[in-house]
Structure formats: structure tokens, C-alpha cells
Amino acid sequence: LPSVSLSTVATGLEEQVVQEIDDDDEEEEEEKEEEEEEEETEMIVHWVQRRSLMPRTLESQITLEKTPSYFVTQEAPRRIFNMSRDTKLIVVVRNPVTRAISDYTQTLSKKPDIPTFEGLSFRNRTLGLVDVSWNAIRIGLYALHLEGWLRYFPRAQIHFVSGERLITDPAGEMGRVQDFLGLRRFLTDKHFYFNKTKGFPCLKRTEASLLPRCLGKSKGRAHVQIDPEVIDQLREFYRPHNIKFYETVGQDFRWE
Ligand SMILES: Nc1ncnc2c1ncn2[C@@H]1O[C@H](COP(=O)(O)OS(=O)(=O)O)[C@@H](OP(=O)(O)O)[C@H]1O
């Protein structure tokens, strides 16, 4: 059974974390991700499958599994708690406005005919009524989702990774992940190479490695251009939710 469960609402940032903890084969990782997307609507089946697929591990090893949708799935806290209440939880979060645009950009790449971001974001744009039933918006209500987890897990059992700092200071952010997991701090600045073309850090298997591994092309693609006024409206919308989230977590993610 997993002793760590990783969820991201940062659309995909968890992949970076997993890569840094356990350097899986990239192709395998992308296949697994597609598989996950298909299964998201069938959480029960998915969970049972995951459970039986868990590799056997030794006492000294950590089993880590990642699923983006856990954090925002109502039944997930209870199910994970009933399965293994000591599981440590890691959630990668990012500015919910950027997250929504990233989410939309990803969907648009698969379904080019969907309505505009602006159209999907509001029930009534003139009145500033944001459509919280749209998943891309709903997922960013982190404080709300967290409430469900705190009914089952103590705050100290959940670690939040800043998606922004994971890019600007991967070693520092991963240092905190290692501390949370009770691991010796193994990854240092020397394990990361900043790929200026991609604009993202890539991981070296060893400090001396000459071949850093970057995430796939679907990670870090250019976002769709959004009307700046809409961005401001969404920022305003998320502000109180973000503040509540910072207070609950005890950490300021500086999205304001
Ligand atoms: N090192 C590194 N390299 C590339 N990309 C990085 C990295 N670290 C974090 N990110 C951010 O990960 C985001 C993409 O993740 P996805 O949403 O596709 O992943 S997932 O499906 O939820 O796993 C992607 O979001 P977008 O920029 O919106 O594509 C990146 O910002």
C-alpha cells in the first residue's frame, strides 16, 4: 500500500516531484498519465486497480503513488483513510488562475472546438459571476477541497508544494519534501539544470550527470492568451479563497 499519496491541482506539477523522488522512465510516466485521465471518472475501479497494482516494498522503502484528481475528489479522503490512515499526503498547488488557464490550454490541445476560456469562466461576466461548476475553476478552490481532507487527516500529515517554487527553486522545494518524508536531504542545487529554452529545471540523476532529464513536451507549453480583464476578475474571485487557504495551511503562497 502506498505510504505516500501525491496529488496535484497544479495540472501536472506532481510529475516533477515524482521524477525527482523516483526517476521513472518518461514514456512509462506519460502512458500512466493518459491511463489516469481515462480512469478519473471511475474512481472506485481506479482505486481498486491501483491498490492491486502497488508494488511490494521493503520496510525501508517508500511507495509513492500519484493521482491528480484525489485532492478534489470528495470520496478520496475517506477511502485513503480507510485503506491506510498513516499515508503521508503531498499536494502540489499553484496560482489557481494560472492553473485554470493551464488546464484550459491542455484541454484545448485535445479538443480544439471547445468554447473560449472567457466564455466558460463566467455565468455572467458583466455581473462578475464566476462559473464555479466549471472544473477548471472549481479545482482552484483549494480551501474548500482541503476541508474535506482535514476531516480525516491531521494538518501535519499533508505537505503542500508550491508549484511556482518548484520551478524557481526546485532544490529548496524538494528539500522540504524530503524533510516531510523523513528522508536525508539528497537532492541539491547540483542535481538541477535550468533549461533556458524550456524555461524549466531538468533533473540530473547524479550531480555529475551530463544528461539532465526534462519533462515531456506537453509540460510547460505556451498558455492561451487570455483577456487581462478576465484574469483580474478571476484574481479577485480567488483572493478570499486563497487567503483562507493560506491561513489553514499556515503558508503564504504569494498568489495575490
Ligand atoms: N521542470 C518542469 N518542466 C516542465 N514543466 C514543469 C516543470 N515543473 C513544473 N512544471 C509545470 O508542470 C505543468 C504541466 O503539468 P501537466 O498539467 O501536464 O501534468 S499532469 O497531467 O497534471 O501530471 C506545466 O504547466 P504549464 O506550464 O501550464 O504547461 C509546468 O508549468
Residue ranges in the chain modelled with pLDDT below 70: 1-2, 8-51
CA of 220 to the centre of ligand 1 (A): 5
CB of 215 closer than 6 angstroms to any ligand 1 atom:
yes
DSSP track, the chain: --SEEEEESSSSHHHHHHHHHS---HHHHHHHHHHHHHHTT-HHHHHHHHHHHPPP--TT---EEE-TTGGG-TTHHHHHHHH-TT-EEEEEE--HHHHHHHHHHHHHHH-TTSPPHHHHHEEETTTTEE-TTSHHHHTT-HHHHHHHHHTTS-GGGEEEEEHHHHHH-HHHHHHHHHHHTT------GGGEEEETTTTEEEE-SSTT-S-PBPPPTTSSPPPPP--HHHHHHHHHHHHHHHHHHHHHHT------
User: Residue 27's pLDDT is what?
Assistant: 52
Determine if ligand 1 sits within 6 Å of the CB of residue 168: no
- Whether 65 and 50 have beta carbons less than 8 Å apart is answered as yes
User: Is 11 near ligand 1, meaning CB less than 6 Å away?
Assistant: yes
- Please give the number of the atom of ligand 1 that sits closest to the Cα of 68: 22
Measured between alpha carbons, how far is 46 from 211 in angstroms, rounded to an integer? 35
- For residue 92 and ligand 1, the question of a CB distance below 6 A is answered with no
* Under 8 Å between Cβ of 141 and 96: yes
Q: Which of 1, 2, 7 is nearest to 159 (CA)?
A: 7
- ipTM more than 0.90? yes
Whether 12 is in the pocket of ligand 1, judged by its Cβ within 6 Å, is: yes
Radius of gyration for the alpha carbons in the chain, expressed in angstroms and rounded? 18
Q: Is the pTM of this model over 0.80?
A: yes
The protein residue with its alpha carbon nearest to ligand 1, atom 20, reads 12
pLDDT at 41: 46
**Can you give the pLDDT at residue 25?**
47
- Establish whether residue 141 lines the binding site of ligand 1, counting it when its CB lies within 6 angstroms of any ligand atom: no
- Determine the residue of 219, 224, 225 to mutate for testing ligand 1's pocket, defined as the one with the most ligand atoms within 8 A of the Cβ atom: 219
> Can you tell me the distance from the alpha carbon of 5 to that of 83, in angstroms, rounded to the nearest whole number?
12
- Best residue for ligand 1 mutational test, from 6, 7, 9, 13 (most atoms within 8 Å of Cβ): 13
Give the ligand 1 atom nearest the CA of 201: 1
Atom 12, ligand 1: residue with shortest CA distance: 13
At residue 205, the pLDDT reads 85
Q: Which three cell numbers stand for residue 241?
A: 479563497
Quick count: other Cβ atoms within 10 Å of Cβ 251?
12
pLDDT of residue 153: 98
Q: Which residues pair with 66 in a beta bridge?
A: 6
Query: What is the CA(62)–ligand 1 centre distance, in A?
Result: 24
